Structure 1
Amino acid sequence: MVRMARRPDYPLSTTLTGWVFAFKISVICPNMPNSFKPRPLKNLFTANGCWAGLLETGGLRQIEVESISKMLACGTSILGVKHYTCGNHSCPHVKYLCNTCHCRACPSCGKKATDQWIAVQNNRLPDCSWQHLVFTLPDTLWSLFFYNRGLLDTLFRLAADNLLYAGKRRGLRIGLFGALHTYGRRLNWHPHVHLSATAGGLDEQGVWKNLAFHEKAMRHRWMWNVRNTLLGLWGQLTLPPELAHITHESDWRHLVLNAGGQHWHIYLSKKTENGRKTVNYLGRYLKKPPISGSRLAHYTSGASLSFTYLDHRTQTYQQETVSQADMLRRVVQHIPEKHFRMIRYFGFLANRVCGQYLPKVYEALKMATPGPVPKLYFAQMAKAFLNVDPFRCVLCGADGIHGGDQRADGAGTDPQRSGDRADEVRETLTGGRCVRT
């Protein structure tokens, strides 16, 4: 029997909700509410041709153009298609699943990556007291890190050094992991570092001892290290427009030494019994865009949109209305540079030494050595969320058989990951137009 099926030109995805395309959602998942809108972030970028307009205007970083191009192509035939035939040879059904982008700017791909990261960390982190800390900067220095993004790497290192130094003074090797955030609740530029550290560590004899962090001492060391670093970079940084008046080193020293006075804020949370609370908290933000799809679900392709955020100063919820273009600029500015690691591990959790020290930590805490974490697959997530097996035939119920990968141009099986063809994706999405950067 010849099996024929029209190749889809509608978006499908291999992650969680994206594969449920709009005009069949009621058939595949009848319990899904009518208000459900898949991929609301895509709608924000494509409505009114706003993203195309920003491309024409220029001024975007290369990584911003590349990441958003991949995100918009995610779950469409632009990135290639996997096709599955029914295991029942008498059934003519064929299913197509479009490839995904695996990009950090994509909320759909970020969901799977986030769940996998949370599962791995909750499995391997030692069961001991943990403390979450946040290191912030005065707002007068924020723009320096916007125009000199290489400083974000230094910022991460200085924050971690603060905690490692506290442990070293007690002769302890502690473990910590952290994440760099560049956004505030309003999606404004607000670089700060989240760190979660063990409230104890191993001494030279392999004995676990408790450790307390002192906010005042850490704040002074944090201020000194950041200021000293910035002072040594005079003449090497790109100054933002609002600091264009600084033309002499004396002006630079005055700015750096007086920024924030003596009130640089460091937040120390209460100790927790384990690190799971922090892992679950950070996991919501690490591998996904800075704004969730639920906050964009109300957007109806208008020229402006409103969103609600919690104002930390007044502890009340505020609503802000911005133009569509302004919202896009706020979102893309937080896309990290290529190969920049937003999550880092230090102390006995550092990648180069964790294999040596983690077994000693488990032994000191009388913990069993954890086993490997099973890899998370798309089918598991689809079954859990939709109660539907995406690889089971909708006609006869037989299992699907992978029939190969196919590129959008019909070239057949592609041995190279189609998600890596960034230039081709961008060419397709922009219609071959030159993008000014």
Structure 2
Amino acid sequence: MDKSGGLDNQNFRLHPAARQLPSLPVELWRQIFRLYLRPSITNLPQNSLYGYGQCVSLNSGEVAHIYRKKEQTRAILRCVCRIWKTISDELDDAIVMSNLDEFDWPPGRSKPQAKAIYYISDDLQYYDTRHPLKAYREAKGKIQRTPGKYVLQFGEKGPLAPITIVLLALSLIFGYTASDPEVTRDFTLPQLRYLDITLYNSLFSAGVPAYGTVSSWCFPMLAFLRVDAIGEYAKKEVLGLIRAHSNQLVELHALDLGVEFPTSDDWWSFCSLQLFVMNNLDMLADVLSSVGTLWTRKSTNTSNETMIVETASQRLTMGLQYPMITRHTKVHIIRVFEQSQSVLPFLDFTVSRTWDSIQTTLTESDYHTEARKNLRESLGLMENLRIDFVDPAGNGIDSYEARCLKSTVELMSPEPLQDGFCGESSLY
């Protein structure tokens, strides 16, 4: 073989199978390898919540399974010839899975060499703020239940310190606990673009001090944010985090944070928002009642009187995490949409998961009868709203994929729908 791609192949003995390969340009081999190895798990940066979620929101077991299969394939390709070895190395996802420095996998790769690091733990653990690694090793395999002040540290002395300064994406699930103010006060990640955070009230969160809270964290480059909160105190903290970054957010996924969000002031502060993903149809109906404020601004006249003035209309996409109804009736949701005709021309509607993936989950999982019935009623309602909900693959509510999902749900839940709704709505 020649020296294509600037590779010196002198004194390099080819595998016998390589002599039978056609002579193709290096770039063509690279494209073939990309198709064969499938998309990178760590393809960062992305330009959307959905893109980051595909890379970041994978549990450690799933990541290990995918990466192990790709590593086995790359190991074979690397043995054929030097060009194939080089291309295979270029397409390495470069993942490290670390059990808080107890061990790293795969062996031989350091954290600075990794494109993505997944920190894992067998059990939910709490770590002494002064000696987190020592406390972790001593508690390995045990769950500490002492009601003290424990936290997984972030900062110069914490186990995540080697990677925090250059992080582009971060996913956190943890209970809120009191923490050392010197560790978490004004905690910042200067390059962070995507944050996925689930915060829940810890059993030990009574009397939490005002310092070192999640709402005080600062991410100057943050554009894509997904938040969830369980418990009243956790919801307040998450709301503070959203509002601290509201003027720079491009895409926001907020699970149900209560009726106090978003307010008119929240919409006024969303200067760059292009996508707002909600948990279900109930929250979507709630949000529609206040979204009109997005296209107005407060203004003070010469008499120092505050006035509301209209601004240029920017398009906003509203997304659903899952097409379900939990609180409102279908009649109420339809009425809200009818009363929102003035803002609907400026809104696009999406679902966060593809219709195919919802159908796969439905058929492969043991769904409760009520959940299947709710999904069927929700899909019927979405058709009745005369609004096109588009999935990440670009398929609308009337697409073949959506209709296949609906047919599957109807076969699994053949009982009549409530409120007089049927497969084809009486509104048509």
In the superposition, the TM-score normalised over structure 1's length comes to: 0.22
Kindly indicate whether structure 1 or structure 2 has the higher relative contact order, using CA contacts under 8 Å at least 6 residues apart: 1
In the superposition, the TM-score normalised over structure 2's length comes to: 0.22
